Chains A and B, each alone.
Chain A
Amino acid sequence: MLSSSKLTKLRNQFPLIKNSTAVYLDNAATTQKPQCVIDAVADFYQQTNANVHRASHALSAKATGEFEAARESVANFINARSANEIIWTRGTTEAINLVSQSYGINTLQAGDEIILTTLEHHANIVPWQLVAQQTGAKILVVDIHDDCSLNIEHYQSLLSANTKVVAISHLSNAIGVINPIKQMIADAHNVGAVVLVDGAQAVSHFDIDVEDLDCDFYAFSGHKMFGPTGIGVLYGKQALLEAMPPWQGGGEMIEKVSFSGTTFNRVPFRFEAGTPNIAGAIGLSAAIAFLAQQDRHLLQQHEDHLLNLAESELNKIEKLQVIGQTSHKAGALSFVIQGEHPSDIGTILDEQGIAVRTGHHCTMPLMERLQLNGTIRASFSIYNTEEDVLSFVNAVKKTLEFL
């Protein structure tokens, strides 16, 4: 267990948490930032700011050095084979769009199949719908069991020689269900399909090892793992990236431009048109360094403890139903209350200083499958406390007395 002195020390590294009386349980939307990340971004602008890769001067060399070192740190963080497999994006959404628009458009044909799951965030649905429209490929959707875990038998029955892409979330944003992605990746590879994993929610909770998972693409955002907003990562196996055409055009991604024809830069730069989010990349690298200093196993136990405590306390409330009865969950807890609209619950919780998210959580197909008009979602992070959980549960009880 994480001792209370260690937890206090950890909380003190997050200025917004340290200085606030509110209970922040919207970590699945974005996490708060430790001082070291805030400092890294500020230090960059105060001491190192220059554009990368293009100038001959010393400041640019320094900025480029830090920027490329950040890429190395991401590669180490997820155990990629090389920093060439790390492409900077604005976030998970852009990473998935890059794969769908570059890899998808150029490889998919009419009759090919893309497999998604009922649990996906809109960001891992809509880009594939666009590609399906453009190529004539078909989207198949893996259903869930009553406990909201993925129906793996159904998934396996959908796999065939027609399956070209499987795009799955590692951890569901709306209901916190963990998907058995390692097995799913192996199954997809058996039929020759390529697998993209949406790791937006997973990176802040689990150690990610892309070599062990053997996924072809892994997408995540900096801001959900204590880094800045506007920076994200697409990991791709180098051989796949090498074969992919550029997506966005501009500076940085080219080798030579001429009106008679343009040649493109090597991977990963081919996919990074325009000036990148340099400060964001350096901030994300600081977040990775911060996580490297922690005992992540202990933090994961702490988060699991908070989730279990919240679930067992909420289950005592009459008319309250936790969505996703599977025990294989992490990070987020979604629930509904019979006869009450999630929006009303969220408003009254906010008045009591509890920050949660209500609504469809960008998973409208999942809500439709569950026949819900939305849920109330509390999502936990490393700096949350048992007191946070109990304040939240008491606030839910008070809300119900009130409505």
Chain B
Amino acid sequence: MNLDLISTFSTSPFGTELTVASVCEQLGNAGHWENRYRTIIQLGKKIPPLKNALKTDDHLVHGCESQVWLYAELDVDKNEMLFAIDSDARIVKGLIALALAACHRQTPEHITGFDFDQYFASMNLGKHLSPSRSNGLKNIVEKIQQTAQATITL
């Protein structure tokens, strides 16, 4: 595997430092939309950036207005999914951070069974998963669940 990618996976604070419970708490306390989006943008900055060489067209998630690149691997020893996802838009990146809190270093079974709709709705961000949204969060979440499913099916 690409060394840059390994380092991106291993330096990611998601699933350890930043979990579903902790991001929900941060957003729950944020209150007004301005603070919530500030929090979202701050969380986006915690994503280890993908090296430019990894930002290739074959890793683009389709259906996003911004560019979103997604890498996924299964750590076979631990049965944990590792994700590296990045975007050139800040809010999308923040929403990706929330998704990573729910999927990075989780088992494929956990990810495929995870209710992302309910998760984003609980943070009052449900509208970003609507099919009319051009930010593509719906496509990102589907891609995450598909890659997890693919490792189970193998």
Contacts and interface: CB of A to CB of B under 8 A. Distances in A.
B91 A359 contact: no
A269 to B, nearest CB: 36
A343 B33 CA distance: 17
B65 A347 contact: no
B134 interface: yes
A241 B99 CA distance: 55
B113 to A, nearest CB: 29
B134 A343 contact: yes
Contact of A359 (B41, B92, B134): B134
Given A343-B135, A403-B90, A351 B67 contact: no
Contact of A402 (B38, B65, B67, B88): B38
Interface in A372-403: 373-374, 402-403
**Residue with the greatest number of chain B CB neighbours at <10 A, chosen from A343, A402, A403:** A343
B67 A344 contact: no
A342 interface: yes
Contacts of A344: 89-92
Interface in B19-52: 33-34, 37-38, 41
B132 to A, nearest CB: 12
24 contacts: A341-B88, A341-B89, A342-B65, A343-B65, A343-B89, A343-B91, A344-B89, A344-B90, A344-B91, A347-B91, A347-B135, A348-B37, A348-B91, A351-B33, A351-B37, A358-B134, A359-B134, A373-B66, A373-B67, A373-B88, A402-B34, A402-B37, A402-B38, A403-B41
Please provide the 10 A-B residue pairs with the shortest distance between their CB atoms, ordered closest to farther: A341-B89, A343-B89, A343-B65, A359-B65, A343-B66, A351-B33, A344-B91, A347-B91, A344-B90, A344-B89
Interface of A: 341-344, 347-348, 351, 358-359, 373-374, 402-403
Given A341-B90, A343-B65, A358-B134, 19 more contacts: A341-B66, A341-B88, A341-B92, A342-B65, A343-B89, A343-B91, A343-B134, A343-B135, A344-B91, A344-B92, A347-B37, A347-B135, A348-B37, A348-B91, A373-B67, A373-B88, A374-B65, A402-B38, A403-B41
